[in-house]
Chain A
Amino acid sequence: MLNIKDLQVKLQEEDKQILKGLTLDVEAGSVHAIMGPNGSGKSTLSYVLSGKDGYEVTGGSATMDGTDLLGLEPEERAAAGLFLAFQYPVEIPGVGNMTFLRTAVNAQRKARGEDELSAADFLKEVRREAKELKIDADMLKRPVNVGFSGGEKKRNEILQMAMLKPKMCILDETDSGLDVDAMKLVAEGVNALRDGKRSFLVITHYQRLLDHIKPDVVHIMAAGRIIKTGGPDLALEVEKNGYGDILAEVV
């Protein structure tokens, strides 16, 4: 599904290398987790994959089902089936959440040569998905993320994911700022989307999210590279001993 090979990225403005030869393969239908200390380049990876400005790829490649992601505009990556759940979802005053969702869904359908969803069908679907995520009608009407609590913002990300039906989902520290109940709700939303074909890349600091979203593979990232890969047990090891041992082991 997602194949990243020797990816090297630097910040455009600071001439600072962030990713230093990252290699990662996520198979269709699997859940991979990336853990790592602050500053290891986890968020940069998610931004580079989704096409944010300000980064310069200096080497390597990233493809999704064989398509070169790095040559596409952000909207083309989205239409191809890539989705990033933001660590800090952006507030957009003046744009209703519902308008935003419908615009996004229909833009992607159009890009794929499909008919736009009728207003009635869209409404039916968004109501059903919102109910699962305990998102009330008021939240759908309000401007995108404006005045939303941390938990509401993250649930709104998962709602978008559910509506857009991507094939590759990247969750960037979706657990940050969430209490236990909110985290469970978000995890349930993600688990509901696991269908054996859709893939997930879950970026997190902590093991506890992985209690709810069970990964198939866990990677440890440090200084811009994957330094260790293992099964779910690796996350437990980090939780128990911190990153120190693993980092020491590699060096």
Chain B
Amino acid sequence: MGAPDRRQALTEALLDTLEMPTSGCTEVARQAALARVRAMGLAQRRDEYWKYTRPDTFLSADVPPAALFDNEEGLLFDAFDRLKIVFVDGVFDADASDDLALEGVRIDRLEDICCTDIHWANEIYGVLETRGQTPVARPFAALNTAYARDGVAIHVTGRPSKPISLIYIHKSEASDVILHNVVRVEPGAEVTLLENGPAGARLNKCAEIDIADGGTLHHVRAQGRDPERRAITSMFVRLGEKSTFKSFTMTVNGVLTRNECVIELTGDNAVAHVAGACVGDGAGDRDFHHDDTVFITHDALNCESRQVFKKVLRNGATGVFQGKILVKDGAQKTDGYQLSQALMLDDDSQFLAKPELEIYADDVICSHGSTTGAIDEDALFYLRSRGVPEGPATDLLTLAFLAEAVDEIEDKALAGDIVSRLENWLTRRN
């Protein structure tokens, strides 16, 4: 069997096991997405952007089970007033969720938008994902558009008084979850979107986010720390003039995580920041593999993009960063920045980084930096000479390393909650 045949066979084998939800108006988008999946085929190890991360466990019909993690520290963001939308193993739970009515925002379940053919979300569902398929194919996102089982459409028309909080509970050890959320931020509107929880044993999550002129979206995400969970997430973001998108993701453990983020700056003076702080331990027979794959396209004047990704790895953990800035012809005065750093707490871990810049405009500032290193011995000795024991001193320096990414969260109270979780991870040492 030739390579293309093999890819096609694997793709069809998986598609055979999936059932497309019967849906009204998204059916067209779902069928189109299915055609895209068939045309491109699912990912394989030999694909350029899958060199460092094995897609195998997302191609099998069987879901590798993931034990439920005893969450003694309580759920993140519990102390914050927010509108809670709860999914249990990928299915919306109305009883656990708050009343979805809130001034300045309208929230619908995905299945409800399917019945309304004039729904705004139809202009976004599958549309931003399709735009994000070139030049790099993202087959799992297309698969998600075709087979998404649940999700919400969030329409932000004003400035809601509290954050919208999506909570993904993992209850069944072999849950296979496909979630798809659609967000539109209208001109001048502003919202904070929180996401936390492992969602399931195997998660494929897609978000399509359209931010109109002058709109602002703050996004803070924490991926659940169930050590055996797997997740492929994709975020497609389109920004209009003078709009702002600020996204931060914390990842604590997980056997496999691939976070793709595709951002398109289409209006002048737009700002997009995407940051990640990840801590992982590959001790024992447990694996830790975390992959941040980012693609930012500058297609307008005077836009700013910033990528800040920090990874703390130990006991054979693997970190991957594939980040690209594409500055299109005419996107003058672009200010693009990309930083990816890994802190190795031992000699067994590895970090694979592929920073890319592709620039077709001549009046731009673009810089990138990628480093891999151990704890700074001089700083460690300085702290110890002041009486701080080696363990706490190492923890302090580790948090300091992550601080640059965490600082990307504008709300300092939310940032504090995130830091406390990172501290717990360090103290727990697992």
Contact = CB atoms under 8 A, between A and B. Distances in A.
B390 A103 contact: no
Interface residues of B, number: 24
B137 to A, nearest CB: 38
Nearest to A81: B387
Given A75-B387, A92-B379, 19 more contacts: A52-B385, A53-B381, A73-B389, A74-B385, A75-B385, A75-B388, A75-B393, A79-B387, A86-B382, A90-B378, A94-B399, A94-B400, A100-B383, A103-B383, A103-B388, A107-B387, A108-B386, A143-B400, A160-B386
Contacts of B382: 86, 89-90, 92
Contacts of A74: 381, 384-385
Nearest to A160: B386
Nearest to A143: B400
Given A90-B378, A107-B389, A107-B392, A78 B384 contact: yes
Nearest to A94: B400
Among A50, A78, A89, A143, the one with the most B-chain Cβ atoms within 10 Å of its Cβ is: A78
A164 B379 contact: no
A73 B383 CA distance: 12
Interface string A105-141: 1011001000000000000000000000000000000
B415 interface: no
Contact of A95 (B381, B384, B400): B400
B403 interface: yes
B418 to A, nearest CB: 15
A73 B392 CA distance: 14
Contacts of A73: 384, 389-390
A26 to B, nearest CB: 18
B77 interface: no
26 contacts: A50-B385, A51-B385, A52-B381, A74-B381, A75-B388, A75-B390, A75-B393, A78-B384, A78-B386, A78-B387, A84-B385, A86-B385, A90-B376, A90-B381, A92-B397, A93-B400, A94-B401, A94-B402, A103-B392, A104-B387, A105-B387, A108-B386, A108-B387, A111-B387, A160-B386, A164-B386
A145 B358 CA distance: 37
Among B376, B377, B383, B396, the one with the most A-chain Cβ atoms within 10 Å of its Cβ is: B383
B404 interface: yes
Contacts of A79: 387
Contacts of B388: 75, 103-104, 107
A75 B384 contact: yes
A109 to B, nearest CB: 9
A19 B397 CA distance: 32
Interface string A65-77: 0000000011101
Interface in B228-284: none
Minimum-distance CB pairs A-B, first 5: A94-B400, A78-B387, A108-B387, A104-B386, A74-B384
Contacts of A50: 385
Contacts of B387: 75, 78-79, 104-105, 107-108, 111, 164
Contacts of B377: 53
Among B379, B385, B400, B403, the one with the most A-chain Cβ atoms within 10 Å of its Cβ is: B385
B385 A78 contact: yes
B310 to A, nearest CB: 10
Interface residues of A, number: 31
Contacts of A100: 383, 386, 396
Among A84, A104, A108, the one with the most B-chain Cβ atoms within 10 Å of its Cβ is: A104
Interface in B370-424: 376-379, 381-390, 392-393, 396-397, 399-404
Nearest to B403: A94
A91 to B, nearest CB: 8
Contacts of A92: 376, 379, 382-383, 397, 400
B213 to A, nearest CB: 36
Interface in A154-198: 160, 164
Interface string A16-59: 00000000000000000000000000000000001111000000
A32 B400 CA distance: 37
A89 B396 CA distance: 17
A94 B404 contact: yes
A201 to B, nearest CB: 15
Contacts of A89: 382
A125 to B, nearest CB: 16
B400 A51 contact: no
B392 A95 contact: no
Contacts of B385: 50-52, 74-75, 77-78, 83-84, 86
B37 to A, nearest CB: 43
A164 B382 CA distance: 14
A51 B384 contact: yes
A114 to B, nearest CB: 12
B34 to A, nearest CB: 47
Among B393, B400, B404, the one with the most A-chain Cβ atoms within 10 Å of its Cβ is: B400
Nearest to A166: B387
A10 B310 CA distance: 38
A76 to B, nearest CB: 9
Among A50, A51, A73, A92, the one with the most B-chain Cβ atoms within 10 Å of its Cβ is: A92
Contacts of A86: 382, 385
A161 to B, nearest CB: 10
Contact of B397 (A53, A95, A107): A95
A83 B386 CA distance: 7
Contacts of B399: 94
A79 B385 CA distance: 9
A84 to B, nearest CB: 6
A79 B378 CA distance: 19
B383 A104 contact: yes
Interface string B133-165: 000000000000000000000000000000000
A52 B389 CA distance: 14
A241 to B, nearest CB: 36
A107 B395 CA distance: 14
Contacts of B404: 94
Contacts of B396: 95, 99-100, 103
Nearest to A80: B387
